[in-house]
Structure formats: structure tokens, C-alpha cells
Structure 1
Amino acid sequence: MKIAFLADPLSSFKIYKDSTYAMMAEAAKRGHEVYAFQQRHMALENGIVSAQMQRITLTGGGQEDWYEAADAEDVPLSTFDIILERKDPPFDMEYVYGTYLLQLAEKAGVKVFNSPQAIRDHNEKLSIAQFSQFTSPTIVTSDEARLRAFHAKHTDVIFKPLDGMGGTGIFRVKADALNLGAIIETLSLNGKQTIMAQKYIPEIVKGDKRILVIDGKPVPFSLARIPQGTEVRGNLAAGGVGVAQPLTARDREIAEAIGPVLAARGLLLVGLDVIGDYLTEVNVTSPTCFQEITQQAGFDVAAMFVDALEARAAAAH
């Protein structure tokens, strides 16, 4: 297969932990052709979406010389078997414009994962509302009075923006309501921006579990991202420590209920975030944690992912 990765600059990859690198390495090992491009390299002209593509050869080298890239060529996206959308957030309008271009390429015959429309349709915070049987008490609003009432009812509450990543902008407000007004005003831009509040889940001390689901099937190990010190956030970007562990019965129940629904919508790879027994996020842009799980648990996540890619490609022919 010819597989093109829409990703951030390859020079920014930390290959010891980058999930996109793990995907590339597994695909190359199986003899697939690997290409890379950035969103800014795409163009729509005369109804055809093309991109400045570089064929990538993985050298097996270290951080500084892990790949060699051929000269870039302008190639229609429809000439590839599969395009993998692996650009990191922010999920801003520029990201959205990229999904529109990818969707046009999809109509020209190339398989795109995750589906551009499905990415747009599944805000990573708001998507949990579709599976409310698995969530803790949650409110989404820009109304300060509603947010204050929610805190008064639940007394220990997490407030967060709907467009954050890596744990940015997350606040915990306990029963004393310290700085409640300032936090609501700041996150909601004085009532102009919708935010989310959720009842605090004490099990966060045992980790914010990332459960990877590939084509509807859960990887049998999660990565529990455990907050350190006085930090309330388990995100690795916020200093959390990742510990691979087998899925619990509840983890599996959540993943097996949600996974097939999302896979049917074109979400080949999702990262479900679970704290204790509760679903807190559905990550669809560029879910990570492949390498941490593989290194600690011995389960080859990238192999499972490329198996799914090959199966999807075979089904298309």
C-alpha cells in the first residue's frame, strides 16, 4: 500500500514515544510505501486536492537521523491507498479547513482515517454526551449561574475548556469555592464561551486511563496517566507518569460498547479517557500512547493498528 501521513514536521517527532513514528515503522517493516506531508502542503485546484509529498525511508537510526526523505513532489491525494490524519491539535479553523480538503480527496477514492467528517463531528470533550450512561455528572454551558449551581450541588468540580489538549485550562474547585467566580469568568470569557464542568472523580489519583480502540476493538492494556505531587491532572504533558495495566471489566465494558459505534462512523483509532468507572473524553484527532503500552506491556499496538489498516484497504477493493 501507499500510505501518506498528514503529520506535524518529522523533525519534531520524539521517536522513543511518538505513536505516528510507531505506525510508520510498522508499515515500512511490512513493505508499505510511507509518505509524509503537512497540512500547509495541501492545495485544491481545478477540483483536485494535491500535496507536496515526501517519500520517507526509515533508517533505523536514532533521534537525529531516523529517516531519509526524497525530494517533495506535488501528488494528488487520490493516488494513495490510505491517508492518515495525524496532525496534533489545536483543533482550530485551520484544522477544520484541512478536514474539508481531506474529505474532497476521500470522495476522489482515497481512504482517510480518521474520517474527516467524523473528526469534525466528535468534539473530544462533548462526544461523551452521546454515551452519558458511562459519564459522571456533567454540564456544558456558558451561563455562570448554571455553573455556580452545578458546583453548589456537587461541591467538588472540574472545570475545563472544550478545545484544550494535554490538560491545559483544567481547574478543580472544592467545597470552599475558592476562586470559583474568577475561574468561570476566565474559562468562559465572561459568558461568551461554552465550557464543561464535571463532578470530580476521586479515582484520578490512580490515573487517567487512556484506552485505545482500533477499528472497534480495545487494546487489552490501558495507559494509566497518574498525577504527580499536588497536580490534579494526569496528562503526560502535565507531568503525569504513564503506567500500562490490563483493562478492568468496566474499562472493557465501556470500550466494547462505544468502539463499534465509532468505528462504523469512520473513526478507526480512538483514545477513550476513563477515570475510575467513568468516561471523560473521546480522543479522535491523533490519539497516542502506542509506544508506552508496547514497551511496558509487550503488546504491539502498532501491529494491531496496521492490521486494521490492511483489512480496511482490502475491504475497499
Structure 2
Amino acid sequence: MKIAFLADPLSTFKIYKDSTYAMMAEAAKRGHEVYAFQQRHMALENGLVRAYVSRITMTGGGQEDWYEAAPSEDVSLSEFDAIVERKDPPFDMEYVYGTYLLQQAERHGARVFNSPQAIRDHNEKLAIAQFPEFTSPTLVTSDEMRLRAFHAEHGDVIFKPLDGMGGAGIFRVKADGLNLGSIVETLTDNGRRTIMAQRYIPEIVKGDKRILVIGGKPVPFSLARIPQAGEVRGNLAAGGTGVAQPLTENDRAIAEAIGPVLAKRGLLLVGLDVIGDYLTEVNVTSPTCFQEITQQTGFQVAAMFIDALEAQARAA
């Protein structure tokens, strides 16, 4: 197969933990042709979506020389057996424009994973609203009075933007309401921006669990991202420590209920975030934690992903 990865610059990869690197390495090991391009390399010309794409050779080297890139060629995206969308957030309008181009490429035969329309349709914070049976009390609004009333009702609340990543912009306000007004005003830009409020889940001290779901089936281990002392954010980007652990009965129940639904919508790879017994986010852009789980448990997450990608590409 010819597999093209739409990703950020390869020179920015930290290969000891990058999930896209793990996917590429597994694909190359199986004899697939691996290609890479960036969103800025795409163009819509006369109804066709093309891109400057480079074939990548995995050298087996270290951080500075892990790949060799052939000169880029201007090709139609429909020439590939699979295109893997792995561009990292921020999910801004440039990201949205990229999904429109990929969707146009699909109309001419390209096979894109995850589906660009499904990515647009599943805001990583708001998507949990579709599965309220698994979520803690949640409010989404830009209205200060509603946010204050939610805090008054629940006493200990997390406030966060709908377009954040890596734990950025997340605040906890305890029962004393310290800085509540300032936090609400800042996050909502004085009522001009919609945000999310969730009742604080004390089990965060045991980790914010990332559950990977591939082709509708859960990876049997989660990565519990445990916050540093004094932190409420478990995100690895915010200094959390990743500890792989077997799925709990509740973890599996959530993943097995949600996974097949999302897979039918075109989401081959999803990262469910679970704190305690509650679903808190549905990550669809470029879910990570492949390597941490594999390194700690031996379970080959990238192999499971390429298995699923091969099956989907051949069935398309």
C-alpha cells in the first residue's frame, strides 16, 4: 500500500514518544510505501486536490536522522491507498480548511482516516454531550450568570475553553469561589466566547486516563496521566506522568459502547479521556500515547492501528 501521512514537520517529531512515528515505522516494517506532507502543501486546482508529497525512508537512526525524504512530487491525493490525518491542533480555521480540502479529495477517490467530516463534527470537548450517560455534570455556555449558578450548585468546578489542547486554559474553582469572576471573564472574553464547565472529579489524582479505540475496539490498556503535585491537569504536555494500566470494567464499558458508534462515523482512531468513571473528552484529531502504552506493557498499539488501516483501506 501507498500510505501518506498529513502531519506536522517530521523534524519536530520526538521519536521516543511520537505516535505518528510509531505508525510510520510499523507501516514501513510491513513493506508499505510511506509518504509525508503538510497541510500547507495541499492545493485545490480545477476541482482536484493535490499536494507536494515526499516518500519517506525509515533509517532506524536516532532523533536527528531517523528518516530520509525523497524530493517532493506534486501528485493527486487520490493516488494513495490511504491518507492518515495526523496534523496536531490547534483546531483553528486553517485546520478546518484542511478538512474541506481532504473531503474534496475523498470525492475523487481518496481514502482519508480519520474522516475529515467526522473530525469537524466531533469537537473534542463537545462530543461528550452525545453520551451523557457517561459524563459528570457539564455546562457549555458563554453566559456568566449560568456559569456562576453552575459553580454555586456543584461547589468545585473545572472551567476550560472548547478549543484548548495539552491542558492549556484549564482552571479549577473550589467552593470558596476564589477568582471565579476573573476566570469566567477571561475564558469567555466577557461573554463573547463559549466555554465548558464540569463538576470536579476527585479521581483525577489517580490519573486522566487515555483510552485508545481503534476500528471501534479498545486497546486493552489505558495510559493514566497523573498530575504533578498541586496540579489539576494530567496532560503529559502539562507535566503529568503516564502510567499504563489495564482497562477497568467501567473503562471497557465506555469504550465498547462509544467505539463502534464513532467507527461507523468514519473515526478509525479515537482517544477517550476518562477520569474516575466519567468520560471527559473525545479526541479525534491526532490521538497519542501509542508508544507509552507499548513501552510499558508490550502491547503493540501501532500494529493494531496498521491492521485496522489495512482492513479499512482495502474495504473502501
TM-score by length of 2: 1.00
Q: Offset at 1:313?
A: 1.6
| Residue correspondence of structure 1 range 264-279 to structure 2 within 5 A | 264-279=264-279
Paired with 2:30 and 2:101, the residues of 1 have a C-alpha distance of: 29
Describe the superposition over 1:50-81 as per-residue Cα deviations: whole angstroms up to 9, x where unpaired.
00000000000000000000001101000001
- Match of 2:14? 14
One-letter identity of the residue aligned with 1:2: K
1:172-211, aligned counterparts within 5 Å? 172-211=172-211
- Cα deviation per residue 1:184-229 (whole Å; 9 max; x = unaligned)? 0000000000000000000000000000000100000000000011
Q: For residue 312 of structure 1, what is the aligned residue in structure 2?
A: 312
Report the equivalent of 1:252.
Answer: 252
Tell me the equivalent position of 1:51. Answer: 51
Query: 1:315 & 1:72 partners in 2: Cα distance?
Result: 29
Q: What is the aligned partner in structure 2 of residue 119 from structure 1?
A: 119
Measure the CA separation in 2 of the matches of 1:111 and 1:260.
Answer: 19
Per the alignment, residue 161 of structure 1 pairs with: 161
Aligned 1:130-169 pairs, distance under 5 A = 130-169=130-169
* Alignment correspondent of 1:104: 104
How far residue 234 of structure 1 moved from its aligned partner, in angstroms, is: 0.2
Q: Distance in 2 between matches of 1:177 and 1:313?
A: 52
Q: Helix, strand or coil for the counterpart of 2:131?
A: helix
Q: Distance in 2 between matches of 1:314 and 1:5?
A: 17
- Per-residue CA deviation, residues 263-303 of structure 1 (Å, 9 max, x unaligned), is 00000000000000000000000000000000001100000
Q: Which amino acid aligns with 1:233?
A: R
User: Equivalent residue of 2:228, what SS?
Assistant: coil
Other-structure match for 1:87: 87
- Could you tell me how far 1:110 is from its partner in structure 2? 1.4
Q: C-alpha distance in 2, partners of 1:99/1:68?
A: 27
Q: Which string of whole-angstrom CA distances, capped at 9 and with x for unpartnered residues, describes residues 241-283 of structure 1?
A: 0000000000000000000000000000000000000000000
State the alpha-carbon separation in 2 of the partners of residues 202 and 166 from structure 1: 20
Task: Give the 3-state SS of the residue equivalent to 1:4 in structure 2.
Answer: strand
Identity %: 85
Aligned match of 1:285 = 285
Q: Which residue of 2 aligns with 1:241?
A: 241
Distance 1:19 1:162 in 2: 24
User: What residue is the counterpart of 1:302 in the other structure?
Assistant: 302
Which residue does the alignment assign to 2:220?
220
One-letter code of the match for 1:5?
F
Secondary structure at the counterpart of residue 62 of structure 1: coil
Match of 2:68 in 1: 68
1:274 maps to a residue whose letter is V
In the alignment, the residues of structure 1 paired with residue 310 and residue 52 of structure 2 have an alpha-carbon distance, to the nearest angstrom, of: 25
Aligned to 1:262: 262
- The total of aligned residue pairs comes to 316
Q: Within 1, Cα distance between the matches of 2:107 and 2:221? A: 35
Partner amino acid, structure 1, of 2:103: Q
In 1, distance between residues paired with 2:313 and 2:39? 23
1: distance between equivalents of 2:137 and 2:127? 14
Q: Which runs of 4+ in 1 moved over 6 A?
A: none
Distance in structure 1 (CA, Å) of the matches to 2:264 and 2:216: 8
